[in-house]
Structure 1
Amino acid sequence: MAMVTDSTARDFTSTAVSFRHVAVPLSQRVAQVAAIAASEADGVDRDSRFPHAAIEAAREQGLLGAQIPVEFGGEGATIHDITEMCYALGRACASTAMIVAMHQTKVACLVRHGRGSAWHERLMRRIADEQLLIASSTTEGNNGGNIRASAAAIEVTTDAVSLVRDATVISYGAQADGVMTIARRANDAAASDQVLVVFTKEDYTLRPTLGWETLGMRGTCSRGFELKANGLAAQVFAEPYDRIHAQTMTPVAHLSWSSAWAGIAAASVERAQAFIRKAARGAGGQLPPGAAHYNAAKRSLIKLRALISSNLDTYVAAEFDERALSALDFQSAINLLKVEASELAVETVMSAMRACGLSGYRNDGDFTVGRHLRDVLSAPLMINNDRILANIGTASLMAAVPATLRG
């Protein structure tokens, strides 16, 4: 693996990159990327292609490395910044938003659990400097999305690590600069005894095994691959995956995904609003029949945003409290966030389509909501809601029912 050995030069480069980006507020840079993402969203969906222009814009604007701490060349963006980023991109292009959400989840794991490891700290610098895009490989074989059980195991020697994995889904795998994956700790380890390991592009090969011809989220290019990787033993995270999963992977993923889905929902409500306003103007101020469905869409969007905000505040308050993050109450809530947010997002977009009527159902015209509906229908299936509810059933029964409104 090629690495810069002059740490002084790298530090200087990191600082220059950081200053160049921070000169413009992150929100403004996100807005610029969102505008580009929106301009290619229809083509990305139609052709089932990766959103190259949007992701290149995200690189140019420093979005991919924004979460990296300042000391490693990033700008230390917070989880609030990341969720706002996902929401804004979701309003523009669902595939772009989901790619960024998955990337930022992996970066969050690296930032929180990679400190103290020279190899992972160098990778943080590379992400900040080069704006590397990191993919995720958590689904394999026949595990049906159960990411707390792995089939493939890593093989570790004193200096090296290797892995062969039947990855049924690696979103944007062919376009990524690296992949973060889970695996059993050893060949004789239990399926739940997992580690997290990250490989950069020079460490692995991907052999396509499954295509990605889907109803929506077509631009994520979530194809299946056989992943063969060889790297350094230092690339394996020291912390057990169960801790990373509870403290970072699940909370950040569910907050980021939900924000992206909320963005899709908001875009559909905006189109419904424009349709109702135009129809009312044409009818001398009389509201069309679809106005009731617009109101329903607006209400469910308000609930969706409030749900995300509440869980976001809870996570931020406990972000560095391992005991609080591992508590049954928090784990149940953050898993239920994914379930409730995905269902509310679908409900919102469906109401928006009914508000627009045939104009929303059409795939052309200013009021089409077809792409939004097809994209958001993936939300309840992305780590299936039924699986989540089954997995947290016992924990929900054990968790106390709140005795106060703010308790």
Structure 2
Amino acid sequence: MRADLASVDGGAAPAGVADAAMLLAAARTVAGIAASHADQVDRDAAFPGQALAALREQGLLGALVPREYGGAGASIETIAAICRILGGGCAATGMIYAMHQIQVACVVDHGIGSAWHQDLLRRLAAEQLLLASATSEESIGGALRTSSCAVNADSGTLHLLKMAPTISYGAHADGILVTARRHPDAAPSDQVLVCMLRPDYTLECLSGWDTLGMRGTCSNGFRLEARGSVEQVLPVPFGEIAEATMTPFSHIVWAALWTGVAADAVQRARTLFRAQARARPGVLPPSATRVAEAVAIIQLMEGRIELALNHYRQHRQGSGGMSAGFALAAEMNSVKTSVSALAIEAVQTALLVCGMAGYKQGTPYSLGRHLRDLWSAPLMINNDRILTNTAHLLLADRSS
């Protein structure tokens, strides 16, 4: 997941490595634009429009779409590396990109074979559409595997109404993937995932987004009413989509993003540390051990994500049975809870190095935005809920 995938030892790079290098170079360009607007985005809780325009210009919104549909065919490793790079520039931009790619991954993994969804993939690549997600509901909160709203189908058309307490960047998206019960008489857990595009739905804003951090994600609450074709329902039950793709992909790319935010904070601390060392040659600044500690935390986060990527890749190459499925789910839960906590620890350690220069706004070493953005990390699918789920998985797994 390291952002140095572009380095290749001698000779012509293999196509996949060269393509990854180009995507990462494009991400660095976008990250620079995002960074120049990050403070304003945070201050005004403004959608990062300049960064999203740059993502479109660089073709990065369609990076995950397979080549046969006009995309770059990027791997999850490359997408995670892009998320890390963007997170170093602007956490809100990186989170929007990560959440968009989670939706694209669901269509790629579970929509192939459906003519409507294959056409959507072509449009994603050609038009650089931005996809959002509506999974939470006022009556059920953030319980991903439960829906209250239902698909009402009649003669090939569908209608659904969802009261969503948050839809991140919903007002700015070109489409929204919506969870709902399969039909009005279905159980709350009998869910489908419906791909709705901008002409198919209306949004009525129900609540604002005045938060501590991640302010640029503009995650307002909405009344979402959609009408379309039954062809827009992904042909796989949502439970399978969530288990195989949405949950593991989410935890990996979120962890990569949080690592990027924390790494930028630690880099600011290292820059100040070097300046202190140059000011007094031969004397190690008092913050030396804290810098070493912060760098070690980032390395631990990187290793944790790399391990999760390896497990995810191995699982997709072969089923491994029920026991392997339990192990993967526990692993993905663990990477989310551990990295979300370590990211905060890394920034708090960096803040001890930067001192008042980090505590104050408007300095080269300011870390307030980083810390406020990362306080959202343990709350995005609350860590307590995830740890409880992991405990149930460990009980159910009889392999050891």
Q: What TM-score do the two structures reach when normalised by structure 1? A: 0.91
How many residue pairs align between the two structures? 382
Which residue, out of 27, 31, 35, partners 1:30? 27
Matched, 1:162 2:156: no
Matched, 1:241 2:238: yes
Which residue, out of 31, 54, 62, partners 2:51? 54
Partner of 1:194: 191
Partner of 1:368: 366
With 35-44 and 213-222 compared, the bigger mean Cα shift is at: 35-44
1:330-345 matches, within 5 Å, as 330-345=328-343
Matched, 1:207 2:204: yes
Which residue, out of 262, 266, 274, partners 2:263? 266
Percent of residue pairs bearing the same amino acid type: 46
By how many angstroms is 1:397 displaced? 2.9
By how many angstroms is 1:65 displaced? 0.5
Paired residue type of 1:377: W
By how many angstroms is 1:24 displaced? 8.2
Partner of 1:4: none
Question: Structure 1 residues 215, 324: closer, same or farther in 2, change over 3 A?
Answer: farther
Partner of 1:18: none
Matched, 1:346 2:344: yes
Give unmatched runs, 5+ long, in structure 1: 1-20, 403-407
Partner of 1:136: 133
With 161-170 and 319-328 compared, the bigger mean Cα shift is at: 319-328
Paired residue type of 1:199: M
Which residue, out of 283, 288, 291, partners 1:286? 283
By how many angstroms is 1:278 displaced? 1.0
Question: Structure 1 residues 84, 141: closer, same or farther in 2, change over 3 A?
Answer: same
Partner of 2:302: 305
Q: What TM-score do the two structures reach when normalised by structure 2? A: 0.92
Partner of 1:10: none
RMSD: 1.7
Q: Is the 8 A contact 1:290 1:357 kept in 2?
A: no
1:135-158 CA-to-partner distances (Å, cap 9, x unmatched) read 011111142311111111111123
Q: Is the 8 A contact 1:329 1:400 kept in 2?
A: no
Secondary structure (helix, strand or coil) at the match of 1:327 reads helix
Q: Is the 8 A contact 2:277 2:284 kept in 1?
A: yes
Paired residue type of 2:228: G
With 311-320 and 64-73 compared, the bigger mean Cα shift is at: 311-320
Matched, 1:151 2:160: no
Paired residue type of 1:79: I
By how many angstroms is 1:305 displaced? 0.6
Partner of 1:388: 386
Q: 2-side partners of 1:77 and 1:314: how far apart?
A: 18
Partner of 1:377: 375
Q: 1-side partners of 2:290 and 2:42: how far apart?
A: 26
1:175-232 CA-to-partner distances (Å, cap 9, x unmatched) read 0000001111111111111101110000000000010000000000000000000010
Give unmatched runs, 5+ long, in structure 2: 1-17
Secondary structure (helix, strand or coil) at the match of 1:170 reads coil
Q: 2-side partners of 1:182 and 1:317: how far apart?
A: 28
By how many angstroms is 1:238 displaced? 1.1
Partner of 1:102: 99
Paired residue type of 1:143: I
With 360-369 and 291-300 compared, the bigger mean Cα shift is at: 291-300
Question: Structure 1 residues 210, 323: closer, same or farther in 2, change over 3 A?
Answer: farther
Paired residue type of 2:366: T
By how many angstroms is 1:320 displaced? 4.6
Partner of 1:42: 39
Partner of 2:355: 357
Partner of 1:315: 312
Partner of 2:14: none
